[in-house]
A and B are shown apart, each in its own frame.
Chain A
Amino acid sequence: MTSPALVPSSPTEQTVIPSAVVRFAGDSGDGMQVTGDQFTVAAALAKNDLATFPDFPAEIRAPAGTTYGVSGFQIHFASDNVYTPGDAPDVLVAMNPAALKTNLRDLKRGGLLIVNSGAFNAANLKKAGYETNPLEDGSLENYSLLSIDITKNTQNAVKDTGLSNKEANRCKNFWTLGLMFWIYGRPLEPTLKWIEQKYGKRPELVQANTAALKAGHAYGETAEIFQRKRYEVPPAPVEPGVYRNINGNTATALGLVAASRIANRELVLGAYPITPASDVLHELSKYKHFGITTIQAEDEIAAVCAAIGASYAGNLGVTSTSGPGMALKTEAIGLAVAVELPLVVIDIQRGGPSTGLPTKTEQADLLQAVYGRNSEAPVCVVAAATPGDCFYMAIEAVRLAVKYMTPVILLTDGYLANGAEPWKVPNPSDLPKIELRFRTDPNGFHPFLRDETTLARPWAIPGTPGLEHRIGGLEKDYDSGHISYAPENHERMCRVRAAKVAGIARDIPEQTIEVGSERGKLLVLGWGSTYGAIREAVQRCRARGLDVSHAHVRYINPFPRNLGELLRRFDRVLVPELNLGQLVKLIRSEYLVPAESLPKVQGKPFKVEELEDAIRRLLES
């Protein structure tokens, strides 16, 4: 990756660079997410490949100027494939001292640092914990500092619009965006159009934000200092097709809508608001005309119970949540195992335990998903690897749930949920098929009569004449479905429930190698949102001649049928995860291979560099 600030250029032309990582950071009221979104759209329209990640505080509106109220947005865009939002920004935009304080350590040495000097007053410096003004004390000399009074420039730009000072100040982000557009040679029109749509009802805001955006852009054009700091990131070679930007939560929601259409069955989502899962509820609640019903339940328990009830009645029952909610849903998921009803549970993992780090990412619910129920209660567990993959894994979760009459837990996380990437929009006719079979024949019926291949029981829904029956959490007799406390029968039922879930391995794709050779010295085995970082790190190491490959599991219970054999083809296996080593435990216990753990639990994704270092250390040891 090239650091733009270090690249010399002629004074008049744009410097062509292969990629850039830009981070916007400011107060949570500074509009950094909007700025980031608009900057992203511009990069996408310029046909760059890209990945983004917003980073916002847990507090909705933390006191202005504090370090815990800083909101950030990072984008990595390039003329080549992009797999992560980038380790370290090449450019940091800091709207106030607190944003500088919390983000500076990530900025590359020599990186471009754009600072709103207008916010560096005594009060803000004190709130951020600065004893002296970093803009003046020489502490920023390792960076290419552009100190601009964005506050004042914005006020000047919008002074004719009649906005109050407070409202005028809120246009700072568009002034900044205008400047960034100038630096990267982006057209203003798409954002101008967006402003028009967004603030159409308040013409003075349209006028002010338009003025601010244009003024920021003009500042770049006229200010002497910028003559040497314009860059061009050429388009990336991407497959032809229709693309959109998508984050994991939207992709998950759309995957569920698609599954409902493919299966030709209405879907009921039971959910209770929880960060970072609420957007799945918000998104799905818009699609009533697609036959989607969303229930904002009174609690996490009611949410999953309503989903199970909907499944019992023949709809696709889904519940979405995060770790603490998973804990509450545990008993009901156990019931769905016992009564063998389809259920999709989406756990958008966040930092824990307990409330933990609600807005930060983690992968530490894996063992909870696989094992976290009383008694022998096997469920199918799958995990999405990228924001766009959430779409396909949501469809897959529904497919497996209805085919095997089982709960399926889909694991994503905060990083996937809020991170975005360009996504090739699929043609609905190319999507996997989901066939539903409802029992209607009363002849020989009992509710736990199993399909010989899948071992699934029949889905016999209320309203079907002649199939009236009772199911419940009490153990059932294998041959009649009636309540049974017989010892041998209980073991037989436990075994058949386990065999049913294990048998899903025959119905899922074999594990493939993502990057690298089929055998060798080291396999890096990942799951979930670490996909991009691992892939990038393994590619870089291979470019340096290291014998390393990358495989990424999307099916965790059961594992793909060839996984054990694949693992044994490598001398060593390294398992990086955003937890203290959970997949590695499953791998070791399942396959008795000496897989090694690379854990990280900081509420943050892996940096490519961290993984590269680990791979190098391991291969050199």
Chain B
Amino acid sequence: MSNLIEPAKLTKKDFETDQDVRWCPGCGDYSILANVQRVMPELGIPRERIVWVSGIGCSSRFPYYMNTYGFHTIHGRAPAFAMGIKVANPELSVWIATGDGDGLSIGGNQLMHCLRRNLDVKILLFNNRIYGLTKGQYSPTSELGKVTKSTPFGSADQPIDPASFALGANATFVARSIDTEAAHLSDVLRRAARHSGAAFTEIYQNCNVFNDGAFDSFRERDVKAERQLRVEHGKPLVFGAQRDKGLRLDPKTLTLEVVRVGEGGVPESEVLVHDETNQTLAYMLARMPYPEYPVALGVLYAVERPTYDGVLRTQKAEALARSGAPDLARLLRGNAAWEI
């Protein structure tokens, strides 16, 4: 594929469409869109080779605002459309925009199978923990007891954590970021774009109309250093404005514990070092209870595995090598024909 990549001369402007963006003013989707439009030109992929696929929901309007090929499909099924697209033309760079309702409620099955197949697509799941387009019902990521229009007495469902769902589905790339953290989000998107296989990125995204401030407790400037853990491969898992807190494994309970690092605490050598190829660690990081633990952000997990589309391509080439050029007349005749 690399020989086909043109010199990257595109700019953010090239990825903007002439359509009015119809998200509510103040929606976190704007910053995600701007971020994606900034990162896309860096990838060196010609616009005509990029396809954005989406389902239904606020996040799924995304393709209309990207000046690439785009397909706004039906609720929850974007990964299945993407599968057909990628299998039909492996040269395409296929991106999926989905949300917590589209991807984890109605489309949970499609997302799960896309991840386990390791289809070579990039999935951005905008998690605002609410249904926006249908005007404010709780979503599968809403906290237990969430009071909404459809749950005046509080929701009775346990929420699901998207990153641990992805890990459970055997995803090969799982990352997390926040709509407002532009630099961090750009870094994660670049990593996702480079990943060969299904790259799953959960983006905490504020819905200022129906669930405003859902992530403020770890997103706001004054608290984020203490409440966010930015993971980086090969670096110790420390956080805090003074880098004085870290994660240590309690070998007796096989759980993570937050420890003080340095003076008056444990030496940094006792703090876990992030290994993004360690699925168990990724799972523990994804599922840390909040607010007792910080929220892990960054590339939690990344490994290489054959892609679904790649295996199909190989099988096709092997079949061709084995059987020779296709002969329709012979095929139609079959093995037991007779002549009259």
Contact = CB atoms under 8 A, between A and B. Distances in A.
| Chain B binds chain A | yes
Contact of B88 (A44, A240, A268, A303): A268
Given A313-B88, A463-B89, A469 B69 contact: yes
Contacts of A246: 334
A291 B84 contact: no
Q: Which of A45, A242, A332, A427 has the most CB of B within 10 A?
A: A242
Contacts of B86: 309, 313
Contacts of A465: 46, 48
B338 A257 contact: no
A461 B47 CA distance: 13
Given A254-B332, A302-B83, A241 B92 contact: no
Given A288-B315, A293-B88, A472-B64, 18 more contacts: A44-B338, A244-B336, A268-B88, A289-B319, A290-B326, A298-B112, A301-B80, A303-B80, A309-B84, A312-B84, A314-B88, A315-B88, A463-B92, A470-B69, A471-B71, A472-B73, A473-B56, A483-B19
A289 B316 contact: yes
A483 B340 contact: no
A302 B87 contact: no
Interface string A485-496: 000000000000
29 contacts: A240-B340, A242-B337, A243-B338, A244-B333, A244-B338, A257-B331, A261-B328, A268-B87, A287-B326, A301-B77, A305-B77, A305-B110, A306-B83, A309-B84, A309-B87, A310-B85, A312-B81, A313-B88, A331-B74, A335-B73, A426-B332, A462-B89, A463-B48, A464-B48, A470-B63, A470-B69, A470-B71, A471-B72, A472-B73
Contacts of B328: 257-258, 261, 290, 428
A242 B83 CA distance: 40
A464 B85 CA distance: 14
B221 interface: no
Nearest to A424: B340
A322 B15 CA distance: 42
Contacts of A339: 71
A308 B17 contact: no
Contacts of B49: 462-463
Nearest to B68: A468
B255 interface: no
A261 B92 CA distance: 24
Contacts of A220: none
Interface in B63-101: 63-64, 66-74, 77, 79-89, 91-92
A244 B66 CA distance: 53
A240 B340 CA distance: 5
Contact of B63 (A293, A309, A467, A472): A472
Q: What are the nearest 8 A-B pairs in CB distance?
A: A309-B84, A472-B72, A305-B80, A470-B70, A306-B84, A302-B80, A288-B319, A313-B88
Contacts of B337: 242-244, 425
Nearest to A335: B74
A315 B320 CA distance: 18
Given A268-B84, A306-B80, A428-B332, A293 B312 contact: yes
Contacts of A242: 333, 337-339
Given A311-B84, A331-B74, A462 B316 contact: no
A300 B332 CA distance: 29
A28 B334 CA distance: 27
Contacts of B329: 427-428
Interface residues of B, number: 59
Interface string A217-256: 0000000000000000000001111111110000000100
A524 B25 CA distance: 65
Contact of B84 (A257, A290, A299, A313): A313
Nearest to B308: A295
B322 interface: yes
Q: Which of A246, A288, A301, A468 has the most CB of B within 10 A?
A: A468
B90 to A, nearest CB: 10
A553 interface: no
B98 to A, nearest CB: 14
Nearest to B83: A306
A462 B49 CA distance: 6
B130 to A, nearest CB: 22
Contacts of A469: 69-70
Contacts of B51: 313, 462
Nearest to B48: A465
A306 B333 CA distance: 30
Contacts of A317: 84, 88
A266 interface: yes
Contacts of B17: 470
Contacts of B73: 305, 308, 335, 472-473
B113 interface: yes
A309 B340 contact: no
Contacts of A240: 339-340
B323 interface: yes
A76 interface: no
